[in-house]
Amino acid sequence: MATTKFAVAPMKAAQIPKPGADFEIVEREIPNPAAGEVRIKVQACGICHSDVLTKEGALPGIQYPRVPGHEVAGVIDEVGAGVAVWKKGQRVGVGWHGGQDNTCPSCRRGDFRNCRNLKIPGVSYDGGYQQYMVAPVEALVTIPESLSDIEAAPLLCAGITTYNALRHSGAMPGDLVAVQGIGGLGHLGIQFANKFGYKVAAIGRGAENATLAKKLGATVYVDSKATNAAEALQKLGGAQVILATAPNSKAMSELINGLGPNGKLMVIGATFDPIEVTPPQLIFGSRTIQGWAAGTPADSEDTLRFAELTGVRPMIETYPLEKAAEGYARMMSGNAQFRVVLTM
């Protein structure tokens, strides 16, 4: 009788049974979409450092077992009641923005990105580390034909975050923009910054990333181990924007003196240590520090369209769903080149 429960084809999922526990590969029934939702046959799902929130239970209110994953690419396989615009067979993605409540003060102003009750796939509901997932229509992103699933997936969190932060940073074509960190976020940030027409200074630790950084579009490579990176930026005239991608608050703090007048430190690398800055560092030169989180599905579509137009692509390593634990460990090691993507 053990097969009765899954008489209709079951599916595989990689779930976290409780906070801090290891991944387990389980069979589940294929979920059905409720009203206003679609079911996606997942083809690829990126592994993002923010998946640590689900793995370790770092956010309150997560229900377990939970399937992580917010860099999802696949095909609509079933639509729920009342879904008119989205069709079966359509290629779609789901990123960090997994749905908004439409009623909070931010939503009432149209600022869905900052919804106070933002839903996050893999946190608020089961994400993309599984063969099928359901998602509300307000989370869906159209994927252009020329992008493969494994290319599109990382662009839905790492891609949109760097793209959207840069395009809202105030930097203009020709400005000096530094990208701190050459990793999962930084290798995309360098490419976008180059295609936006900035003079790009890539900042990494050690000489070994110089060739790659220049290949990705950096004009200058600054080795922060060998030189004082802030002084190096000042020699170039001071950065209009520093996109801080590596989750290292000390390294971010050391770069603030590299900002030019009216320069901005744009923080997207998430770590819980404080950034240190003195008031005069900000007062003289009118410098600012700003954070940025991802964006809406429409912003994701802009990101994918821009990538399609300009050739920006993530560098990826793929793992099959069954090896989710290995893929996650590879991402956590910091040695992946540069995004890890699960394939179904």
- Within 231-290, the residues that bind Zn ion by CB under 5 A are none
How many other β-carbons are positioned within 10 Å of the β-carbon of residue 145?
7
Candidates 103-111, 200-208, 247-255, 333-341 — which segment interacts with Zn ion by CB under 5 A? 103-111
Least Cβ distance, residue 324 to Zn ion (angstroms): 15
Strand partners, 339: 316
Cα-to-chain-centroid distance, residue 89: 25
Q: Does 332 bind Zn ion (CB under 5 A)?
A: no
Residue placing its CB nearer to Zn ion in the complex, 95 or 238: 95
Nearer to Zn ion, 50 or 240 (CB): 50
Q: Which stretch binds Zn ion (CB under 5 A): 23-31, 50-58, 167-175, 284-292?
A: 50-58
Omega before residue 65 within 30° of 0, cis: yes
104 binds Zn ion (CB under 5 A): yes
Smaller CB distance to Zn ion: residue 161 or 180? 161
Distance set, CA 121 to CA 47, 135, 175, 187, 297 (Å): 12, 8, 36, 24, 13
For Zn ion, which is the closer residue by CB, 238 or 269? 269
Cβ neighbourhood burial of 37 (10 Å; 0-12, 13-18, 19+): buried
Name the residue nearer to Zn ion (CB basis): 50 or 162: 50
Does 58 contact Zn ion by CB under 5 A? Answer: no
Which listed residue (15, 100, 209, 296) binds Zn ion by CB under 5 A? Answer: 100
Per CB under 5 A, does 344 bind Zn ion? no
Q: Is the separation of the CB atoms in 175 and 242 below 8 Å?
A: no
Structure tokens at 29: 């029934």
Cβ partners under 8 Å of residue 309, min gap 6: none
Stretch that binds Zn ion, among 74-82, 101-109, 184-192, 283-291 (CB under 5 A): 101-109
What part of residues 129-168 is at the interface with Zn ion (CB under 5 A)? Answer: 157
- 38, 40, 42, 48: residue in contact with Zn ion (rule CB under 5 A): 48
User: Closer CB to Zn ion, residue 106 or residue 318?
Assistant: 106
Q: Are 75 and 87 spatial neighbours (Cβ–Cβ below 8 Å)?
A: no
CB of 41 to Zn ion, least distance (A): 22
Is 115 a residue that touches Zn ion (CB under 5 A)? yes
Alpha carbon distance 66, 54 (integer Å): 7
Q: Which stretch binds Zn ion (CB under 5 A): 15-23, 45-53, 188-196, 308-316?
A: 45-53
Residue 93 Cβ vs Zn ion, minimum distance, rounded to whole Å:
13
Q: Which is nearer to Zn ion, 48 or 67 (CB)?
A: 48
Size of the site for Zn ion (CB under 5 A): 8
Give min distance, CB of 102 to Zn ion, in A: 6
List binders of Zn ion among 3-32 (CB under 5 A).
none
Shortest Cβ 46–Zn ion spacing (Å): 7
CB of 212 to Zn ion, least distance (A): 22
Tell me: does residue 101 bind Zn ion (CB under 5 A): yes
Q: How far is CA 32 from CA 68, 111, 314, in A?
A: 18, 30, 32
Q: Give the footprint of Zn ion on this chain (CB under 5 A).
A: 48, 50, 100-101, 104, 107, 115, 157
